[in-house]
Structure 1
Amino acid sequence: MRENEQIKTLFERVCYENSIQAYNELYITLCSRLIHFSASIVSSYHLAEEIVSDVFMVFWQKRNQLSHVNNPVVYLYVSTKNLSLNTLQQQKRHRHHSLDTLDTEMLAIAPEAENGMVSAEVAQKIERAVRSLPARCQLIFRLIKQDRLSYREVSQLLEISTKTVDAQLTIAVKKISQAIRFDLSDELAQTYLHQDS
């Protein structure tokens, strides 16, 4: 989890040293992930960009009060989730909105052929399989596999138990493994899809 340690260091430098350089690095590191996450809730990349910008602006304004935050990644994801849901309520575009009605097209990040482990064609098959998952299952898979959050972080963010996270991830991995079983050896598929909790 080297990246999370780097994020925590940058977050602390912003809080304790008022470092604008650390703030910019933190924004660059997380903005794409947070924009995709927000866009899946509000169904608009443009609006998601504004929301993430607002989340970081509020973070900068309150930086001296946030030194107690133990997990900056979860803090920023929860802030993004809350502001996204609040924005929807204010716009009254939806009377009731939950994370079960995500716009999964907005979640999709172009699949990468990680370290040459899978071909672009197999990466596309994986992406199609991920897109076929139910919304919450897909969100959990993407938060763990693409955004590299831990089970605990996902459970905090979505306010569900780690057992639920594990169950949803197991479903996702099983369905994706079935979709790509002819393209990758079992061992390679498990390596690609495996995530430590």
Structure 2
Amino acid sequence: MGKDKQIQSLFQRVCYENDIQAYNELYIALCARLIHFSASIVSSFHLAEEIVSDVFITLWQKRNDLSHVDNPVVYLYVSTKNLSLNTLAQQKKHQHRSLDHINLDMLSIAPDAENGMVSAEVAQKIEKAIRSLPTRCQLIFRLIKHDGLSYREVAILLNISTKTVDAQLTIAVKKISQVIRFDLSNEIVQSFLRIDS
């Protein structure tokens, strides 16, 4: 069973069967991704953990009203985004924050060095190339490449078109491949940068 199908199944068991075990498994499957995403907005892993915990508490409280949700991953990302932005607004009453002021260091996840696909040195070069991207471009790349969201899911989450997602990813892949093409074989570059829509 694919990861998305597994998450869909867990979500349905929570909503239809009040299954606490499925709820715990759903939390384990998504919490790290959601915490990194929230931390990129609120600039605090501690606060992000509280936010994601609150998102899941709310999910459990509203579970009987959520059977209409088609895509639980997008639902939970959007819930996390909204609660993160609301938390920031409460903390900084007069400062309006949006995803344009995102802290991308919190999203930093070194690419596949731990899997032995690339050396730590090359992983650092890749991370540096990713960080050199414009904010929105970098966020889109990380959500798709690291968090495994689809173009459509990212488009919904960020309130942009799938064409914009595609255009931003094209920019990201081009810039990153220029930086790392001298360090890696073309095959590894293509493998690392391959993104399925």
TM-score bracket for the superposition, by shorter chain length: over 0.9
Q: Which letter does structure 2 place at the counterpart of 1:37? A: F
For 1:73-92, what aligned pairs fall within 5 Å after superposition? 73-92=73-92
Look up the match of 1:122: 122
Correspondence for 2:65: 65
Query: Which secondary structure does the structure 1 equivalent of 2:79 belong to?
Result: helix
SS at match of 1:116: coil
1:88–1:94 CA contact under 8 A, matched in 2: no
**Number of residue pairs matched by the alignment:** 197
Q: Where do 5+ consecutive residues of structure 2 fail to align?
A: none
User: Which amino acid in 2 is paired with 1:86?
Assistant: N
CA separation of 1:187 and 1:93: change in aligned 2, threshold 3 A: farther
- Summarize deviations over 1:89-148 as a string: whole Å, max 9, x none: 111266111111111111112332375332232222211211221211111001000111
What is the TM-score of this pair, normalised by structure 2? 0.95
2-structure distance, mates of 1:180, 1:110: 14
Runs of 4+ in 1 over 4 A off after TM superposition: none
Q: Residue type matched to 1:55 in 2?
A: V
TM-score by length of 1: 0.95
Separation (CA, whole Å) in 1 of partners of 2:67 and 2:196: 28
Letter in 2 for 1:149: L
Structure 1 unaligned regions, length at least 5: none
Give the Cα separation in 2 of the matches to 1:94 and 1:190.
45
Q: Does the residue aligned with 2:169 lie in a helix, a strand or coil?
A: helix
Superposed, 1:1-197 pairs within 5 Å as 2-92=2-92, 95-113=95-113, 115-197=115-197
Q: Partners in 2 of 1:110 and 1:30 — Cα distance? A: 18
Task: Report the identity percentage.
Answer: 78
Matched residue type, 1:8 = Q
